[in-house]
Structure 1
Amino acid sequence: MNVKSELLATLANSDGKYISGAALADKLGVSRNAVWKAVKSLEAEGFSISSVTSKGYKLNEDNNRLSADLITPFLRTKEMGRNIQIFEEVESTNNTTKELDSDDVPNGTTIIANRQTAGKGRIGRSFVSPSGVGLYMSTLIRPEFSLEYAPMITAAAACAAAEAVEKLCGSPVNIKWVNDLYMNGKKICGILTEASFGLEMRTLDCAVIGIGINVRSAKEIFGEELSKTVTSIQDEAGVIVNRNRLCAEVLNSLEYYLGKIVDRSFLHDYRRREYLTGHLVTANIGREKISGEAIGIDDNANLIVRLPSGEKKHLSSGEANLCRIADN
């Protein structure tokens, strides 16, 4: 690590307390003037740092600059996020991550962008990803479980993202089957998992989990029409969440919930958050449109819908390309 990286990591670990220039110089093994120069350089790059005579330096809570040095101190993972690359702008973090896909890319490698120009949602939809507003990240995983568990990756990731958001903002988060997070009836997050299969589709070589979370207020950016259904953590909870800390918490929870797929124990958390259950819904299955009551989530993370005839349909994310609460 260079002086700037070490300085950032040290300030991130200070719990919001000031650290004197002398203490920083001693810890980093440089002169106080080198510390001052590093602080000024970081400020020029957009990091928000307070400097007070006789107190020292402190990384401000309102810092909105993404940095691996500000994420790593909060990681409690063995593999998730231990290899991080951050970009100012990409078309899609999922696409960038897939381009890295080779045998020497470690499990848990994570690509993060400050902005996406062509963010992706399910079934070809776009995910609006303005600069500095959201957390746009994709993580490559190399699952040790068999192919039958692959459809549950997105559901486990939804639990992870929901837990991370709740931890930092204190407001409840729901999951709209299968891949969206909601606060107060509006979407704050979308998840897209793309898998790479082995020969004859018998094995799951790897998967890329893309997570996009709207963090800061985006009412003016989204516009009146989109704001009717899409919102952000700040707009709903009134809290400005640090994107670096949120990224770390997502990765911490992701490693935990991915480890709960085989025994399906993550489904308890998924079910208690699930948004559609108890509502009348409509769903598109291929060219067929069905209507019925969502009555729960089965052991494969499929949505169970009871039709007016009494028949129960178990909808997989692969076949139901649109599922929403029915209009009254």
Structure 2
Amino acid sequence: MRIQDAVLDALEKNRGEYLSGEQLASSLGVSRNAVWKAIQKLEEAGHKIRAVPKRGYTLAPESDVLTVQSVSRFLDTDMPVYLQVQTEVTSTNTLLKAQAEQGAPEGTVLIAESQTAGKGRLGRHFTSPPGTGIYFSLLLRPHCTAEKSLFITTTAAVAVCEAIEQVTGLNPQIKWVNDVYLNEKKVCGILTEASVDFENGGLNWAVLGIGINIAVPEEGFPEEIRSIAGAIFDGPCPVEMRSRISAAVISRFFALYKNLGSNAFIESYRSHSFLTGRAITFSLGEETYRGVVTGISDEAHLLVRLDSGEERAFSAGEVQIHKGFANPKAE
């Protein structure tokens, strides 16, 4: 571990307390001058550090740089997690897929402060500005068939909702199949990409990408998504909130992932369903239909009672729900 990483690790673990240069040097087995140089490098990287004579160093309360250390201190999982944090990337999914092909272990997690080419479903761009969101991907090597891989996405949606509830006390919902909504606005998108082993029908690996809007960007959301995009907080991003929510999502996901094949997530998915009871319009092939969502099946299919009275179950990717579904629940 680099000296500056070790110093940051000590400061993160002792937030609110001062550590003297002598303490840090002794615990790390380095000189006080090496500690001083590490502090300088951390400040250059954006960390706000207070230095008080005869007391030492402490992270300022407002210091809020997303780092391996800031996330790790909130993790609560017995799953081995190999964290990586970068300031800016093209796409965390793209980079982690390359690592998967090179043999990176399950539990590798890549978090970015921002993305220049964030990926959404159906080839859409996912807006990923710095400082107001968290964008991360998890590498999985699941023992399941390609058909069951949908459960990775649905499990992740549950993990995001439960993590937001745990950290903030708010009540997000899941818009089938992979979006998380809060106050009628989308605050999170989820995208799973996988490599299929065609010999046995299983997966070589899966990369689960999650993007969460913690706060509204200073310049607002782009015009094309302004009507549907939202954030967990209306004001500025609270200090450490990105680290806390990142860690909570990762921890909760891996807790559910242990029982991926058992559908253990499904009751929570149902209780968080945003569309249940709502009238929707959707496309199936070239045809357009209307109906009322009646629930979610055990296989995470969308259950709909069409205007004709027919009851249907639809799988992910089979239908395209039109915008404007966020109407009051049907009676």
Structure-1 residue corresponding to 2:114 = 115
Q: Deviation of residue 268 (structure 1)?
A: 1.6
Question: 2:152 & 2:211 partners in 1: Cα distance?
Answer: 16
The one-letter code matched in structure 1 to 2:298 is: D
Deviations 1:51-106 (A, max 9, x none): 334443222343332222322233233445x2233333222211111122226210
Per the alignment, do residues 230 and 7 of structure 1 end up closer, same or farther by CA in structure 2, a change over 3 Å counting? same
Q: Amino acid of the residue matched to residue 85 of structure 1?
A: Q
Partner of 1:183: 182
DSSP 3-state at the match of 1:172:
coil
Letter in 1 for 2:67: S
- Name the aligned partner's letter for residue 279 of structure 1: R
1:16 corresponds in structure 2 to 16
1:291 matched to which residue of 2? Answer: 290
The 1:242–1:39 alpha-carbon spacing in structure 2 relative to 1, beyond 3 Å, is farther
Structure-2 change in CA distance of 1:290 and 1:201 (3 Å): farther
In structure 2, do the counterparts of structure 1 residues 153 and 234 end up closer, same or farther at CA, with 3 Å as the change threshold? same
SS at match of 2:212: strand
The runs of at least 4 aligned residues of structure 1 exceeding 6 Å deviation read none
Alpha-carbon displacement from aligned partner over 1:196-237 (angstroms, at most 9, x marks no partner): 111157112211101011123315241566333212222179
Superposition TM-score, scaled by structure 1 size: 0.90
Give the superposition deviation at 1:190: 0.4
Judging changes above 3 Å, is the alpha-carbon distance between structure 1 residues 70 and 311 closer, same or farther for their aligned structure 2 residues? same
Q: Look up the SS of the partner of 2:100 in the other structure.
A: coil
CA contact 2:143–2:202 (8 Å) conserved in 1: no
**What CA RMSD, in Å, does the superposition of the two structures yield over aligned residues?**
2.4
Aligned residue number for residue 3 of structure 1 = 3
Letter in 1 for 2:285: G
Q: Which residue of 1 aligns with 2:219?
A: 220
Task: Report which stretch shifted further, 39-48 or 164-173.
Answer: 164-173
Could you tell me which runs of 5 or more consecutive residues in structure 1 were left unpaired when the two chains were aligned: none
CA distance in 1 between counterparts of 2:40 and 2:102 reads: 40
Alpha-carbon distance, 1:180 to partner:
1.1
Instruction: Return the alpha-carbon distance in structure 2 between the equivalents of residues 235 and 150 of structure 1.
Output: 34
Question: 1:42 offset after TM fit, Å?
Answer: 0.1
Aligned residues: 327
Structure 1, 251-260 or 140-149: larger mean CA deviation:
140-149
Structure 1 match to 2:88: 89
Identity of aligned pairs, percent?
41
**Following superposition of structure 1 onto structure 2, how do residues 1-328 of structure 1 map, counting pairs within 5 Å?**
1-79=1-79, 82-102=81-101, 104-199=103-198, 202-218=201-217, 220-223=219-222, 226-235=225-234, 239-322=238-321, 324=323, 325=325
Q: How far apart are 1:288 and its partner, in Å?
A: 2.5
